[in-house]
Structures are given as structure tokens and as C-alpha cells.
């Protein structure tokens, strides 16, 4: 990018963003055997250049998750990712993951989150964790545990919660109890919706009271919904390259960022999974700048949207807004 724009990533999955160097370090410190060939290792972490299939995309998460089943593994993973994001010039990031997927070697979800928190704050990056509940058939108790852990660590490294997973198979409406708890405990939350499923999933997320939607890109299929998003000031966490990988759109030029902005919807640009999609937030912004000819004013607005929607304390939000103004002065 030609200038030092304010970089913020609100939608970043830990397990989909382990770099090659981080994977090697995690394997070494835990004595886990991995391929010695970089290309073979990359194939285990990153979708192919021509990926147009959700199944191929989802295959890339099991291996990195296997490297984060100990306190040392998850602490190191978070520490490495934050250092890499700081080196990229990010001001702030929200790193999300599902604690219940990191308990295979006996850790409780509380121990998982404590380990992740211990890996934070070692770089110049300001950050918060978002704990993901998972859409599934038999994990209600695990999701409830995630909510209790989020309550325990809220403001101590954790900024909010999320609902992730196969939204087409496990509709948002099945998870009302979780968000009733979040509201009662004043835990900020976002919900994956309007990605694999259509506008109906976004409507249900709004019914649960969310102010942020993970992806939400298919909201454009419903004009009434777009109007509601605008009127209620709902923020969409857009992830362009990820949506191309999973065949929601076929090109950056087709990606409807401008349509949403012109409709007055608050949108942000994020990576989703830096390694799986081989991207950075700077690259995502560059793609959008080239595809839809974003103006300086629009870039400024995207950054302000991200700062305003962040699950951060007021001091951090004020600092972010000051930094944004400096970058666009």
C-alpha cells in the first residue's frame, strides 16, 4: 500500500492464521512431527490458488488446531501471531478461537483461555480475544462453558463472544440461550451469519440483539434487511478473499463492498484466516482499493467503522480514533 493506512482486523481466526514460522516453532517446542518440506507444510495450512470449494477451505483447520492442545502451544501461538500483526503495522486486532476445540489433551476451557491471555501483550499490538461458541449437534454444554469462561475473563484479555461453524446446517435460532446469557452478563457479541446461509440467518442474529455480524455479505439479497442494517447501525465484518475462496463471489470486482457502502451500511475489511487465505488486512484493503476504486475518504471511513465497532475499552477506542486521524491528516 502506498501509505501507512490505519490497519485494524476485527475478524481473525487464530487457527486459520498460524504462519509457517509459527507452525515450525510450535512443532519444535512440543516435539510434534511435521513435514520438513515448506511446500508440503504450506499445503496443509493454505488453500490452493484456485480454491473454489468450502470443503477444501475447512480441511485446513484440523492440523493447526492439533498444534494448540497444550498451554505452551496456545500461549506461543497467540504471542507469535500478535508479533506478526504488529510487524505488519496493525494498530488493533481481535483474535477469535473456540476454546472447546483445544481441550483434546485435558485442558479445561478456562485453562485454554488463560494460556491464550498469557500470550498477549508482548508486542506493540493492542488486542482482545473473541471466544467462539460452535454450531453443532451435541456441544450445548461446551458452548455454555465457553460463555461462563468469557464472563470470567471479560475485560482481562477477552473482549466478547461469537457463534461460528456451519450456519447452513445448524441455524442461528438454535442458539438463543447463549445470547440471552451474553446480554444478561453484558458480554459484547458478534455472530457469523449471511455467509453460507442467506439473509434469514442475519435476521435471526439481529433478533438476538447483535450489533456486529461476521461476514453478513449475503444481506444484499434482501433490500429490507439492508435498510435495517443501515438504520440500526449494524457493523458487518467483511472478509473478501475468504468469500472468494468459498465461492460466494468469483472476483474482487464482483465483491459488493461499494453497494453496501453506498447503502449506508457500516462495513469493515478483515482477513478471516490469514494463512488459509494467504492474505493480510493490508492486502485485503489493497484488493478493494483496486477493484472498486476506494477514495481516501472511504478508506478513512472503513478505519473509523472498525474503531467504533471494536470490542475494546473506551481508552483503546479513543486511542485508535486519534491514530486514525493522524494517518489521514
Active site residues: 195
Give the number of other CB atoms < 10 A from CB of residue 204.
20
Q: Cα angle vertex 257, ends 193, 211, to 5°? A: 40
CB 150 within 8 A of CB 160: yes
Residue 297: count other Cβ atoms within 10 Å of its Cβ. Answer: 8
Q: Cα–Cα distance between 69 and 71 in angstroms, integer?
A: 7
Q: What is the DSSP letter of 272?
A: B
Give the residue carrying C-alpha cell 469493515: 268
Reading the block at residue 50, the C-alpha cell is 484456485
Pairing of strands 266-269, 235-238: parallel
Euclidean distance between CA atoms 162 and 206, whole angstroms:
13
Q: Give 141's contacts (C-beta < 8 A, 6+ positions apart).
A: none
User: In sequence order, what DSSP letters do the residues of 74-100 get, joined into one string?
Assistant: HHHHHHHHHHHHHHTTEEEEEEEE-GG
**Other beta carbons less than 10 A from residue 65's beta carbon:** 17
| C-alpha span between 9 and 84 (Å, rounded) | 13
Q: Do 112 and 74 contact (CB within 8 A), yes or no?
A: yes
How far is CA 310 from each of CA 100, 212, 293, rounded to the nearest angstrom?
Answer: 24, 9, 26
Rounded to the nearest angstrom, the gap between the alpha carbon of residue 307 and the centroid of all alpha carbons in its chain is 15
How far apart CA 243 and CA 223 sit, in angstroms, is 21
Amino acid at each position: 500500500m502506498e501509505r501507512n493506512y490505519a490497519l485494524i482486523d476485527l475478524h481473525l481466526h487464530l487457527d486459520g492464521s498460524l504462519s509457517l514460522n509459527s507452525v515450525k516453532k510450535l512443532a519444535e517446542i512440543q516435539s510434534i512431527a511435521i513435514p520438513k518440506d515448506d511446500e508440503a507444510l504450506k499445503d496443509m495450512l493454505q488453500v490452493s490458488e484456485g480454491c473454489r470449494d468450502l470443503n477444501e477451505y475447512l480441511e485446513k483447520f484440523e492440523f493447526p488446531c492439533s498444534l494448540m492442545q497444550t498451554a505452551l502451544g496456545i500461549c506461543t501461538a497467540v504471542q507469535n501471531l500478535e508479533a506478526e500483526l504488529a510487524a505488519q503495522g496493525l494498530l488493533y486486532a481481535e483474535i477469535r478461537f473456540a476454546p472447546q476445540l483445544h481441550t483434546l489433551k485435558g485442558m479445561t476451557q478456562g485453562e485454554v483461555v488463560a494460556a491464550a491471555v498469557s500470550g498477549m501483550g508482548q508486542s506493540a499490538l493492542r488486542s482482545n480475544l473473541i471466544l467462539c461458541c460452535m454450531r453443532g449437534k451435541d456441544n450445548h454444554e461446551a458452548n455454555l462453558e465457553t460463555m461462563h469462561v468469557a464472563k470470567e475473563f471479560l475485560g482481562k484479555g477477552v473482549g466478547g463472544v461469537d457463534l461460528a461453524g456451519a450456519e447452513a446446517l445448524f441455524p442461528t435460532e438454535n442458539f438463543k440461550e447463549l445470547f440471552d446469557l451474553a446480554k444478561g452478563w453484558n458480554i459484547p457479541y458478534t455472530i457469523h451469519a449471511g455467509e453460507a446461509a442467506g439473509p434469514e440467518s442475519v435476521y435471526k442474529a439481529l433478533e438476538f440483539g447483535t450489533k456486529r455480524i461476521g461476514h453478513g455479505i449475503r444481506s444484499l439479497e434482501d433490500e429490507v434487511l439492508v435498510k435495517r442494517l443501515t438504520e440500526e447501525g449494524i457493523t458487518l465484518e467483511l472478509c473478501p478473499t475468504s468469500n472468494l475462496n468459498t465461492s460466494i463471489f468469483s472476483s474482487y470486482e464482483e465483491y459488493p463492498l461499494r453497494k453496501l457502502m453506498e447503502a449506508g451500511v457500516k462495513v469493515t475489511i478483515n482477513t478471516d484466516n490469514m494463512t488459509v487465505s494467504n492474505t493480510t488486512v493490508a492486502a485485503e484493503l489493497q484488493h478493494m482499493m483496486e477493484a472498486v476504486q476506494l477514495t481516501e475518504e472511504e478508506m478513512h471511513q472503513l478505519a473509523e467503522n472498525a474503531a467504533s465497532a471494536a470490542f475494546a475499552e473506551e481508552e483503546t477506542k479513543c486511542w485508535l480514533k486519534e491514530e486514525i486521524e493522524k494517518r489521514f491528516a
